[in-house]
């Protein structure tokens, strides 16, 4: 689709222009002759955009633009005192949504390739990548990665999106860095804890170890020792009481014998003094002897029985003491040491449990890190898969890390000629649409060789172009090429 007719009236610097167009045009003339006015008018017709504040020729209230594109006509009227008028027809039928229809016929860079030359490297890369057609949306991202990845500008081309996903500044990489840092931190804590634990520490052993049981045994031993000490005390008390009682009995017997001797002496004196009463006195003496003997015998029997009872009690206590002797005090000390050791071991349980918990956390973190690595690798692999199936509009175009390369070089490394070729390639990406390129001022900026090369490339691609060239001619000269 090409321009076949242009009619302008009171537009910018053009008062009247009505021309059939059979091919490409070169507009020559000095500054102010109307070269750029024709280019701008055609742009306004196609996309209704201009960088000029005033488009209607000074002194008029209305300007007209009319162009024919094969079987399509575009008519616009710019007005000062009322709304603009537009009408677009195709095959004689008026188009209901003219702006949308026209927009489908061209790329913006066709109407002003110089814009591409003036873009930043990043903007140029974006334009080139957008030429690689690949249908995708957030559902496609979610299907590939299991989620809509955070922190990504999804208004970019898919190759830029994937590059941003795998970037070391991206969510996955940064998250993996954070995960790996947590793994390192937790591993360091685990090493620190394990270094403080006793060698060959058994968490299971000390977790199941019952301090209550060992302290029950210790308490039983203490009670047994206390019982033993009470027995010893009672035995000593019995011995003391026995000795005291024996002494008391001996003293009583001595006292009896003393009394007996005193009485004997007294009676003997009476015998000598009272011979006459000898028989009677002798009888009394005999009677006294029998009575004393009986008392002594009775006292001795009582003492003997008491001593036997004490001896039996002593033996009984001694047997109990012997039985109690099996629990020695040093055994308690050993148990105390065992209990203290068990308490120390059980005090490590909390740290050991923390180690086990952190080891589980590290296992999860390592799995997360591995998954993130797979996501990053996927983002690195997908561009290659996309480029295998996508249509590459420029033969020399490749993509590396989301950045387009032309003949293996980034855009900012291209020569003037290479950049010019790229500029044309970018401008003609709708082969079924408008096959037209508007070149305002570009030929003036090119060397003769590059200008010739530019025009030849456009002709070889069957692209119509309208270019301007500054000369000394005061009047606008239109040359068909």
Per-residue pLDDT, averaged over 372-386, amounts to: 87
Whether the CB-CB separation of 398 and 71 falls below 8 Å is answered with no
Indicate if the pLDDT at residue 420 is higher than 60: yes
Whether the CB-CB separation of 49 and 56 falls below 8 Å is answered with no
> Rounded distance, CA 79 to CA 77, Å?
6
Confidence category of residue 287, pLDDT binned at 50, 70, 90:
confident
- Cα separations (Å) of 299 from 239, 243, 309? 20, 16, 15
Indicate if the pLDDT at residue 285 is higher than 90: no
Residue-level pLDDT at 373: 93
Residue-level pLDDT at 138: 92
Pick from 246, 288, 296, 247: nearest CA to 270: 288
- Least confident residue range of 75-89, 302-316, 344-358, 420-434: 420-434
Whether the CB-CB separation of 384 and 402 falls below 8 Å is answered with no
Residue-level pLDDT at 380: 86
Whether the CB-CB separation of 98 and 87 falls below 8 Å is answered with yes
> Rounded distance, CA 173 to CA 163, Å?
12
Structure tokens at 285: 């003496």
Indicate if the pLDDT at residue 29 is higher than 80: yes
Given strand 403-406, what is the order of strands in its sheet? 397-400, 403-406, 409-410
DSSP 263-275: HHHHHHHHHHHTG
Pick from 384, 414, 411, 376: nearest CA to 400: 384
The C-alpha angle 359, 361, 363, rounded to 5 degrees, equals 70
Q: What is the pLDDT of residues 362-374, one digit of tens each?
A: 999 999 999 999 9
Sign of the Cα pseudo-torsion (271, 275, 278, 284, in order): negative
Question: For strand 436-439 and strand 464-470, is the pairing parallel, antiparallel, or unpaired?
Answer: parallel
Indicate if the pLDDT at residue 330 is higher than 60: no
Confidence category of residue 316, pLDDT binned at 50, 70, 90:
confident
Q: What is the pLDDT of residues 188-232, one digit of tens each?
A: 999 898 888 888 888 888 888 888 888 888 888 888 888 888 888
| Local structure of residue 74 (DSSP, 8 states) | E
Residue at token pair 């957030």:
138
Half-sphere exposure of 6 (CA within 13 A, CB side): 25
Structure tokens at 262: 């005193």
> Rounded distance, CA 144 to CA 385, Å?
12
Residue-level pLDDT at 59: 84
3-state helix, strand, coil in the chain (%, to 5): 60, 15, 25
Indicate if the pLDDT at residue 327 is higher than 50: no
Longest pairwise C-alpha distance within the chain: 205
Residue-level pLDDT at 182: 93
Pick from 149, 164, 159, 147: nearest CA to 388: 159
Residue-level pLDDT at 266: 79
Residue-level pLDDT at 444: 66
The phi, psi pair for 190, rounded to 5°, reads -60, -45
Whether the CB-CB separation of 428 and 110 falls below 8 Å is answered with yes
Confidence category of residue 431, pLDDT binned at 50, 70, 90:
low
Q: 219: which residues sit within 8 A by CB, 6+ positions away?
A: none
Q: What is the mean pLDDT of the chain?
A: 82
- Least confident residue range of 175-179, 259-263, 387-391, 452-456: 387-391
More confident residue, 377 or 396: 377
Per-residue pLDDT, averaged over 370-387, amounts to: 87
Q: Please give the share of the chain, as a percent, with pLDDT higher than 90.
A: 19
Q: What is the pLDDT of residues 118-177, one digit of tens each?
A: 778 777 777 777 777 788 899 999 999 999 999 999 988 888 888 889 888 999 999 999
Residue at token pair 């009583």:
252
- Least confident residue range of 22-31, 173-182, 291-300, 431-440: 291-300
Q: What is the pTM of this model?
A: 0.53
The C-alpha angle 277, 281, 287, rounded to 5 degrees, equals 155
Whether the CB-CB separation of 369 and 179 falls below 8 Å is answered with yes
> Rounded distance, CA 325 to CA 221, Å?
11
């Amino acid at each position: 689709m090409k321009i076949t007719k242009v009619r302008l009236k009171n537009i910018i610097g053009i008062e009247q222009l009505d021309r059939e167009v059979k091919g490409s045009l070169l507009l020559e003339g000095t500054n102010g002759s109307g070269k750029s006015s024709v280019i701008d008018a055609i742009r306004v017709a196609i996309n209704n955009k201009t960088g000029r504040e005033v488009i209607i020729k000074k002194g008029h209230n209305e300007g007209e633009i009319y162009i024919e594109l094969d079987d399509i006509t575009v008519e616009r009227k710019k007005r000062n005192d009322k709304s603009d008028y537009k009408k677009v027809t195709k095959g004689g039928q008026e188009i209901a949504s003219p702006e949308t229809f026209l927009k489908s016929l061209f790329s913006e860079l066709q109407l002003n390739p110089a814009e591409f030359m003036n873009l930043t490297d990043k903007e140029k890369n974006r334009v080139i990548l957008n030429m690689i057609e690949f249908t995708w949306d957030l559902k496609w991202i979610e299907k590939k990665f299991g989620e809509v990845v955070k922190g990504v500008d999804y208004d970019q081309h898919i190759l830029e999106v994937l590059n941003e996903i795998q970037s070391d500044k991206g969510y996955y990489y940064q998250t993996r860095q954070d995960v790996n840092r947590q793994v390192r931190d937790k591993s360091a804590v685990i090493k620190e804890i394990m270094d403080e634990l006793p060698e060959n520490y058994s968490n299971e052993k000390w977790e199941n170890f019952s301090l209550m049981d060992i302290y029950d045994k210790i308490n039983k031993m203490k009670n047994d020792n206390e019982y033993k000490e009470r027995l010893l005390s009672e035995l000593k008390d019995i011995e003391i009481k026995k000795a005291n009682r024996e002494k008391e009995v001996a003293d009583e017997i001595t006292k009896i014998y003393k009394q007996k001797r005193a009485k004997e002496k007294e009676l003997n004196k009476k015998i000598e003094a009272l011979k006459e009463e000898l028989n009677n006195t002798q009888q009394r003496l005999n009677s006294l002897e029998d009575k004393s003997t009986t008392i002594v015998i009775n006292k001795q029997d009582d003492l003997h029985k008491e001593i036997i009872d004490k001896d039996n009690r002593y033996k009984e206590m001694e047997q109990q003491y012997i039985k109690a002797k099996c629990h020695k005090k040093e055994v308690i000390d050993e148990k105390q040491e065992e209990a203290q050791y068990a308490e120390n071991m059980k005090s490590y349980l909390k740290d050991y449990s923390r180690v086990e918990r952190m080891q589980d956390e590290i296992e999860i973190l390592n799995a997360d890190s591995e998954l993130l690595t797979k996501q990053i690798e996927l983002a690195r692999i997908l561009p290659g898969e996309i480029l295998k199936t996508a249509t590459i509009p420029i033969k020399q175009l490749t993509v590396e890390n989301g950045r387009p390369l032309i003949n293996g070089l980034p855009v900012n490394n291209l020569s003037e000629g290479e950049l010019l070729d790229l500029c044309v390639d970018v401008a003609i990406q709708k082969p079924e649409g408008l096959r037209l390129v508007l070149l305002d001022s570009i030929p003036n900026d090119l060397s003769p060789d590059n200008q010739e090369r530019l025009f030849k490339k456009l002709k070889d691609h069957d692209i119509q172009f309208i270019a301007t060239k500054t000369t000394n001619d005061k009047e606008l000269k239109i040359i068909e090429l």
